[in-house]
Structures are given as structure tokens and as C-alpha cells.
Amino acid sequence: MGLLPDAPLILGDGHLMEYYSVDASGYSVKPRGVALPRSVGDVADVVRWAAQNRTPVTARGAGTGLAGGALGDGIILDTSRMDRVRYLDGVVSAGPGARLGAVARLLSGYGRILGPNPSVGPYCSVGGMVATNASGSLSLGYGSIIDNLESVTLVDGRGDVVELPSNRHYSDIISGICRRAGPFPDTTKNSCGYRLDAVPSPDMSHRVVAASEGTLGVVVGARLRTHPAPRRRALAVMRYADARSAAADCPRILECGPVSLEVVGPGIMEGYGGSCVLFAEFHDSVPERGGPDHADRVCGDVRRAAGVRPVMIREGIDRWLAGRNAALSRSLGMTGDRAPSIIEDATVPLERLPDLFDVIRELGERTGSTPVYYGHAGSGNIHVRTPADSRVTEWYLCEVMALGGTITGEHGDGMGRTGFVRRQYGEQNHMLFGLLKDAFDPHHILNPGKILPA
Ligand SMILES: Cc1cc2nc3c(=O)[nH]c(=O)nc-3n(C[C@H](O)[C@H](O)[C@H](O)COP(=O)(O)OP(=O)(O)OC[C@H]3O[C@@H](n4cnc5c(N)ncnc54)[C@H](O)[C@@H]3O)c2cc1C
């Protein structure tokens, strides 16, 4: 027996329930039981039992989610043991519990990478990444999970195994619902609600599972497109006096084709004091994006137009990026913030990014604090940390919506943001979300209270 107990379903064990009562979000909910399936059949058995007994089931990968999505008061279904990974013809097939680190190790042997790269690094699981529509710094060049998902297998709320997009029955239902969808935010990333906007035809029906947070089914397998690993990389590091001028420069930098354009706010990076820092990364493996030689063009353009003096890095890039990736833990240290934050993942159309930074400045005035921020500037996705009561939270999220943005670009609705989903999408889309939920999970046992109210 390893660290986890052997029994497939454990009810009421004190320490184990404590362990599963938290994730990386700061919320806490004690479950009634924990299931540790080894196979798709085990998952189907647990869900069927839960459906008969009207008991909630919440799937869990690595528990690195920042929105409390993996917490619930019923059965927590920990997929850690379903961790097989295979690679064939540019596509990686993974069990839900496979960790990103294991996927990356396998792919490196083939000279390939997975595009989405959450800054939490190797720890998160494929199931969790699919369920949150995870992305990361490289999503600018390679897309989020939703852009890389080839097919997905899930166990629905009846305990049936469903493969998408090949399942005609479900694909027709999904596509029929998606055809009726109203407007969605015009952002490059979005993990709020169900992504009805991403399914133009039945053969794309699997994409609606991305960002569904375990509310439509338990993901038991996913096939994800991979990309050639870069042989040459370059990183331009640019220092700005303030966030607004950094944001105003982003469109110019994007024209040079970086695969990643990240921002780290004042005080987070050692040695950068009160400056706002942009990192633009270039890969030779994406020639249509220009490659590392374009890094020099960025430096020249930025120097001429903004008077900024970029530093060009060609060796030891990962060491520099580790500084960026430590932003969440460093920012938690700066704010002393252990409370759940639901304002932390706003994403706006790129042209509205300077306005979002104005909103963040006003957030500081309203809270009497200095908000700490960092994130994926090239995608308009800024993680902001500051203590905020419910009134300020509501104000901030409404400002994000008014900018044409989404309240979550990559972390999902979870416990914190579900209450704002209807406001973001309006009645028509919200009604369609309900129809989709009913089709997959007629007894509403799958992760209730996430995306839709319980
Ligand atoms: C330091 C830090 C940095 C981070 N940086 C990023 C980042 O750059 N980009 C990013 O996108 N995220 C980031 N995250 C958030 C988190 O890592 C991602 O959301 C990740 O995809 C969650 O994976 P997980 O396995 O931990 O999922 P969990 O936390 O276990 O679950 C997350 C959600 O997925 C559902 N779920 C899990 N497994 C399944 C399954 N098999 N079937 C159906 N539903 C399932 C859960 O019910 C829950 O709703 C960061 C987190 C931390 C702590």
C-alpha cells in the first residue's frame, strides 16, 4: 500500500476527511467520503452509487485549484491512481490523475511540449487542467486546454461512460444548445460558465467539457495535441515605471510574435523595486510567430517607442521565469492573504488592459491597500491579490464585465465566482447552462454549487 489507503471508497475517516477538506484556494469543506478509483469501471461504480443515493460527487486531481472547485460535502473522487500517459503521433493520451510533470517528462523524450503550462508547474493533474480549462504563460502561443483538446472520455451523472466528440447523442445535444448561445466575452481566455461559444459544430462538442469543473462528468481520459519543443529561445525583459505604460506597450510587443508575454507588478521580483516588469518569450519552433530573432526587434521597437531599455536573455531563461512563476507565493507573503480571493483571475480584451490597471488602482483606493498583481499580460489576464470584502468584490467583478472581460480566465468559477456567472452571461446563456447540466447530470450530483447554484 502506498501513501493512499487501498479501499475504493472510505466513509467518515477523520484525518482523511480533513486532508480532502482543503485545496490551494483557502476554502474549507469537509466531505462525507473519499473514493480512490483505479479504473474507469471504479469511477462509473462510484457515480452510479452516488446517483442512486443522491450523494454529491466532486472529482479531484492534485488540489492545486485556486477557486475551491475540488471541495464538496459529499464524496471526493481522487483520481491520482488513474495516471497512465501515452504518446502517439503528436497527441498525448492521459488518465485524469496523470501529473503535468509526468506528461512533460514523457513528451521531452519525443522533443515535444504541452502548450498549457500552469505556473504551479509539474503538480497539477490532466483531469484538473481539462476541468478548469487551464492555461499559463505559453497559452499566448499555444492556446489553453480548450484549444488543444482532441477528445475526452468522461463518466456522466448516470454513471455512463461517454466519449466526445464521437458520441452522436451527446454531440447533437451539445451542439443544439450551443447554437442558441448569446454573446460571450471577446477574450482569448475564459474559464467562466460552460464554453458554449467554443462549439461551432458537433465534431467540436468535446470542447464544452473544458472549464466544466466536474459538473458535467468525471473526466477519465483526455487526448491533447502537443507541439514541437523549441530548440532556441529568447527572453526580453522590460522594466516600466507603471502598469499602465507597460499595458499600453503590449500590442506593439505582440506584433513581434512572442509565445508568452507576462507581467509582474511592483515589489514582487527581487532587484526590480517599484518597477512593473514585462517578460516576452520567443520560440524558434513557432516560425509563424517570428522566433527568437524577433526578440531583437521587440527590444529595438520598445526602446525607440517607449524609452524602455530591455535586457535580452538567451541562456538561463528558466531561472528568470522561475522568478515570475514564484509570483503567487511571493504575493501571498506580501499580502499575508490566506483568505479565498475571487477577484484574482480577471481577463479583458487586450485593448482594455490599460483600463483594467486603472480599475486595479481604484481597487487599492477602495480597500486602502496596495494591490499586488502579476499575470499573463499578453492574454489580458491579471492575477490581483488584495483583501476585498463582498461589496468591493462585486464592484471589481462588475468593472471587469463592463470592460467586456470575463471574471475568470483560467482558474474557474469554483466556490467563489459561481454567484456571478449569471450576471456575466445574462438569462439566455444561463438558462442554456442549466439545460446542458440537466442533460449530463439529471440528478445534479456532480460537483453541485459550481458554475450553477446547487
Ligand atoms: C502556485 C499556483 C500557480 C498556478 N498557476 C496557474 C496558471 O498559470 N494557469 C492556470 O490555469 N492555473 C494555475 N493554477 C491553478 C491550478 O494549478 C489549475 O487550475 C490546475 O489546472 C488544477 O489542477 P488540479 O489537478 O490541481 O485540479 P483540482 O484542484 O484537483 O481540481 C480543480 C477543478 O477540476 C475539477 N476536476 C479535477 N479532476 C477532475 C476530473 N478528473 N474530472 C472532472 N473534474 C475534475 C475539480 O472538481 C475542480 O473543480 C495555479 C495554482 C497554484 C497553486
pLDDT digits (tens, 9 = 90+) for 162-188: 999 999 999 999 999 999 999 999 999
Distance CA 189, CA 349 (A): 9
Q: State yes or no: pLDDT of 276 exceeds 60.
A: yes
* Alpha-carbon distance values, 38 to 21, 59, 144, 238, 369 (Å): 22, 14, 28, 48, 47
The pLDDT of residue 406 is above 80 = yes
- Helix boundaries (H) for 66-205: 100-108, 126-132, 139-142, 145-148, 168-179
Write out the three cell numbers for 102: 509526468
What string of DSSP letters covers 155-174?
A: E-TTS-EEEETT-HHHHHHH
Instruction: Look at residue 131 in the predicted model and tell me its pLDDT.
Output: 98
Q: What pLDDT is recorded for position 13? A: 75
The pLDDT of 246-252, averaged and rounded, is 93
Instruction: Report CA(65)–ligand 1 centroid distance (Å).
Output: 4
Write the class of the CATH domain 9-78.
alpha beta
Please tell me if the CB atom of residue 348 comes closer than 6 angstroms to any atom of ligand 1: no
- Are 85 and 93 within 8 A, CB to CB? yes
Instruction: Enumerate the domain spans of the chain.
Output: 9-78, 85-228, 231-319, 326-410
Report residue 4's pLDDT band, with 50, 70 and 90 as the boundaries. Answer: low
Q: What are phi and psi of 376, to 5 degrees?
A: -100, 80
Atom of ligand 1 nearest to the CA of 134: 11
- Per-residue confidence (pLDDT) for residue 274, from 0 to 100: 82
Which of the pair, 270 or 415, is modelled with greater confidence? Answer: 415
Give the pLDDT of residue 336: 67
Architecture label for domain 326-410: 2-Layer Sandwich (3.30)
Tell me the CA–centroid distance for residue 128 and ligand 1, in Å. Answer: 4
pLDDT at position 337 is 63
- Residue from 43, 125, 189, 329 whose mutation best tests the ligand 1 pocket (most atoms within 8 A of CB): 125
Decide if 267 contacts 274 (C-beta within 8 A): yes
Asked if 385 and 371 touch (Cβ cutoff 8 Å), the reply is yes
Residue 289 pLDDT > 90:
no
Q: Report how far ligand 1's centroid is from the alpha carbon of 273 (Å).
A: 31
Question: Given this model, what pLDDT does residue 293 score?
Answer: 74
Does residue 212 carry a pLDDT above 60?
Answer: yes
pLDDT for 202 beyond 60? yes
33-35 and 91-94 beta bridge pairing: unpaired
pLDDT band per the 50, 70, 90 thresholds, residue 323:
confident
At 306 the pLDDT is: 67
What is the distance in A from the centroid of ligand 1 to the CA of 247? 27
pLDDT of res. 243: 94
Domains 85-228 and 231-319 share a fold: no
Atom 53, ligand 1: residue with shortest CA distance: 64
Q: How confident is the model at residue 388 (pLDDT cuts 50, 70, 90)?
A: confident
Overall average pLDDT of the 365-369 stretch: 92
User: What is the 87 CA–ligand 1 centroid distance (Å)?
Assistant: 22
The 8-class DSSP code of residue 192 comes to: S
More confident residue, 297 or 413: 413
Residue 11 has pLDDT above 60, yes or no: yes
Amino acid identity at 241:
A
Tell me if 185 CB under 6 Å of ligand 1: no
Q: In terms of Cα–Cα distance, which of 129, 66, 63, 62 is closest to 341? A: 66
- Mutating to test ligand 1, I would choose from 23, 60, 192 the residue with most ligand atoms within 8 A of its C-beta, which is 60
Residue nearest to atom 23 of ligand 1 (CA): 128
Give the residue whose CA is nearest to atom 17 of ligand 1. Answer: 64
Question: Nearest CA to 152 among 40, 38, 36, 37?
Answer: 40
The predicted structure's pLDDT at residue 326 = 77
C-alpha cell at 346: 480577471
Percent of the chain scoring above 90 in pLDDT: 76
- Determine if the peptide bond prior to 165 is cis (ω within 30°): yes
Return the pLDDT at 420: 97
Choice from 64, 137, 281, 321 to test ligand 1 binding pocket (greatest atom count within 8 A of CB): 64
- Give the alpha-carbon dihedral of 265, 270, 273, 275, to 10 degrees: -40
Q: Which of 246-255, 375-384, 429-438 has the lowest mean pLDDT?
A: 246-255
**C-beta of 78 in contact with ligand 1 (< 6 A):** no
Of 58, 99, 77, 342, the closest CA to residue 213 belongs to: 58
Give me ligand 1 centre to Cα 411, in Å: 7
Q: How many A from CA of 398 to the centre of ligand 1? A: 25
CA-closest residue to ligand 1 atom 39: 127
Q: In the predicted model, what is the mean pLDDT of the chain?
A: 92
Span from the CA of 132 to the centroid of ligand 1 (angstroms): 6
The matching CATH number, chosen from 3.30.465.10, 3.40.190.10, 3.20.20.410, 3.40.50.150, for 85-228 is: 3.30.465.10
Domain 231-319 bears CATH identifier 3.30.300.30: no
- 198: Cβ contacts below 8 Å, ≥ 6 apart: 146, 204, 207, 208, 210
CB neighbours of 386 closer than 8 A, spacing ≥ 6? 335, 337, 343, 363, 364, 367, 369, 370, 371, 372
Q: What does the alpha-carbon distance between residue 352 and residue 346 come to, in Å, rounded to a whole number? A: 12
Contact by Cβ (8 Å): 306, 286:
no
Q: Is 218 in the pocket of ligand 1 (CB under 6 A)?
A: yes
**What does the pLDDT look like over 186-195, one tens digit per residue?**
999 999 999 9
Sign of dihedral through CA atoms 168, 164, 435, 179?
negative
* pLDDT value of residue 126: 98
How wide is the angle at C-alpha 355 spanned by C-alphas 331 and 281, nearest 5°?
Answer: 60
Q: 60, 127, 115, 123: which is closest to 91 by C-alpha?
A: 115
Per-residue pLDDT at 1: 38
Decide: 214 in ligand 1 pocket, CB within 6 A. Answer: yes
Predicted confidence at residue 302, as pLDDT, reads 72
Cα 42 to middle of ligand 1, angstroms = 22
CB 133 within 8 A of CB 145: yes
Q: 366: closest CA among 349, 350, 335, 390?
A: 390
pLDDT of residue 270: 77
67 C-alpha to center of ligand 1: Å? 9
Mean pLDDT of 206-212: 98
Please report which confidence band the pLDDT of residue 387 belongs to, taking 50, 70 and 90 as the band edges: confident
Q: Pick the residue whose CA is nearest to atom 5 on ligand 1.
A: 119
* 275 ligand 1 Cβ < 6 A: no
Instruction: Give the number of other Cβ atoms within 10 Å of residue 94's Cβ.
Output: 28
Per-residue pLDDT tens over the stretch 428-453: 999 999 999 999 999 999 999 999 99
